[in-house]
Amino acid sequence: MPDLRTYDYAIVRVVPRVERGEFLNAGIILSCDVERVLRGAVLLDEEALLALDRNVDLEVVRSTLKSIPAICAGGAGAGPIGRLSARERFHWLVAPKSTIVQTSPVHTGQCDDLEAALAHLMNQMVRR
């Protein structure tokens, strides 16, 4: 039997008009404490987003989404947040926000391959 690891994940959502509550899934943030792993993957379907709000500021959305994998990777390129531990960065990323890019509640899963779990979540939750 494979050695399963427990991980936490949240879905990254783009909410172009917060007052409407409509959103588009655009990524996954995955954290595994045992492995000290924090990964983020994003994929923006701009056509679908524009269908929700044709006036959305795509540059703001692109820039914000681009920062997620950088923050997950940590280090100087991620600014002051990049110096935090992987778990602290995860909690910072998934904290509730009332902005155009938000995350779902945190969910838990188990796997024996974290990269495969991230790919599976992207296929199930983000890719169309």
pTM of the model: 0.95
Please check whether residue 12 is in contact with residue 30, taking contact to mean a CB–CB distance below 8 angstroms. no
Identify the domain containing residue 15 by its residue range.
5-125
Contact between 126 and 104 under an 8 Å Cβ cutoff? The reply is no
Handedness of CA 61, 63, 69, 71 (dihedral sign): negative
Q: How many domains does the chain divide into? A: 1
Q: What does the pLDDT profile of the chain (128 residues) look like in tens digits?
A: 679 999 999 999 999 998 898 999 999 999 999 999 999 999 999 999 999 999 999 999 999 999 999 999 999 989 999 999 999 999 999 999 888 999 999 999 999 999 999 999 999 999 98
